Amino acid sequence: MILSIESSCDDSSIAVTKIATKELVFHKKISQDLEHSVYGGVVPELAARLHALALPKILEETKDYFGELKAVAVTNEPGLSVTLVEGISMAKALSISLNIPIIAINHLKGHIYSLFIEKQECFPMDILLVSGGHTQLLHVESFDKISLLANTMDDSFGESFDKVGKMLGLPYPAGSIIEQYAKKGDEKRFEFTIPLQRSKTLAFSYSGLKNQVRLCIAEQENLDEQTICDICASFQRVAVAHLIRQIKKAYKDISVKDFGVVGGASANLYLRSQLEEFCTSKKATLHVAKMEFCSDNAAMIGRCALEAYGRGQFSSIEEIQPRGSSKIVLSKNYNLLF
């Protein structure tokens, strides 16, 4: 079995996965939403201290598996350095005390493998990664060959929901709350413009849309419940329309067979329905993760680690350090990620 640890942001999570069958035998996550909510976003130092309390508590519950562990996997990038180091320290301690190798996992690659928990991987696949930190369009050829087709120029998709939520006085993280408000709203009441409409650039941008919403809120004399719902619906419609437009642009003359959507914001059902329409138009299959595996979790890190384990991709204890951002290697044909 492999024990995996995730602490890249504000979720402390540990999983245990069987190597032979890919079965997830243990999975627990303690989220810190409530603690950060009062600040309207994640406070790194506070997150680190909460990981230091939560991770040992969860680990205690996995003791019965210790004898069967063949490796320990941990997220080492990208994320908040002070929180990554909490998981990394625990992984190093387990590696030394149980005498098992350590596997460093890229968090974004982990999100990709959320599609294959307890399943066989299916590549090549084109993937939209929408989380609090990233908005990327990826072409995944295989475990080791992932290319970046489009990236955000500023804010990420999930982050824009959080920031709009903050402006509306909603708690952090606001993504799913905005989705719920949007269900009761009129998506046509506020005419926000779709970002990068006239640009030929294949990229995403959310800071302009966020600013449009800010100005709209400032203009409201009465920010009543219905107005909040209408702003949420109008914002969500345009935020998703921007993703779909850029995706259509990317695949205008290219066929797509398998398209996946991953990351915390992939739980958004409106986004899923729009992607479903795109996939139908392309005769492609849309792949989504189970709701519980969309946001940060150690099960996806463990699933990704199974592939690394099979390839003998271990790291030395000295080598593993937290890295705030992922490296992107520019090669001749691709912008290779990881």
| Contacts with ligand KG4, residue ranges (CB under 6 A) | 9, 131-133, 158-159, 161-162, 173-176, 179, 263-265, 267-268, 295-296
Using DSSP, state whether 214 is helix, strand or coil: helix
37-76: contacts with Zn ion (CB under 5 A): none
Q: Minimum distance from CB of 271 to ligand KG4 (Å)?
A: 7
Q: Minimum distance from CB of 43 to Zn ion (Å)?
A: 18
Residue 158 or 185 having the CB closest to Zn ion? 158
Q: Minimum distance from CB of 171 to ligand KG4 (Å)?
A: 11
Residue 260 interaction partner, one of ligand KG4, Zn ion, none, beta carbon < 5-8 Å per kind: none
Q: Minimum distance from CB of 71 to Zn ion (Å)?
A: 22
Residue 113 or 309 having the CB closest to ligand KG4? 113
Residue 26 interaction partner, one of ligand KG4, Zn ion, none, beta carbon < 5-8 Å per kind: none
Residue 31 interaction partner, one of ligand KG4, Zn ion, none, beta carbon < 5-8 Å per kind: none
Q: Minimum distance from CB of 107 to Zn ion (Å)?
A: 6
Q: Minimum distance from CB of 218 to ligand KG4 (Å)?
A: 23
CA distance 12 to 58: 9
Residue 158 or 195 having the CB closest to Zn ion? 158
- Copy the structure tokens of residue 43: 């406070």
Half-sphere exposure of 162 (CA within 13 A, CB side): 20
Which string of x and - marks every residue 92-131 that binds Zn ion (by CB under 5 A)? ---------------------------------------x
β-pair partners for 71: 2
β-pair partners for 285: 258
Omega before 101 within 30 of 0, i.e. cis: no
The alpha carbon of residue 122 and the mean position of all alpha carbons in its chain are separated, in whole angstroms, by 19
User: Which of 113, 118, 6 is closest to 54 using CA atoms?
Assistant: 6
Residue 77 interaction partner, one of ligand KG4, Zn ion, none, beta carbon < 5-8 Å per kind: none
Neighbours of 255 (CB within 10 A): 8
Residue 193 DSSP code: P
Residue 179 or 230 having the CB closest to ligand KG4? 179
Half-sphere exposure of 35 (CA within 13 A, CB side): 17
269-328: contacts with Zn ion (CB under 5 A): 296
Residue 322 interaction partner, one of ligand KG4, Zn ion, none, beta carbon < 5-8 Å per kind: none
The alpha-helical segments, DSSP class H, found in the chain are 33-37, 44-60, 81-98, 107-113, 157-167, 175-183, 207-219, 225-250, 269-282, 298-310
User: To which residue do tokens 């992922």 refer?
Assistant: 326
Element (H, E) at 2: strand 2-6
Q: Minimum distance from CB of 69 to ligand KG4 (Å)?
A: 26
Which residues lie near Zn ion (CB under 5 A)?
A: 131, 296
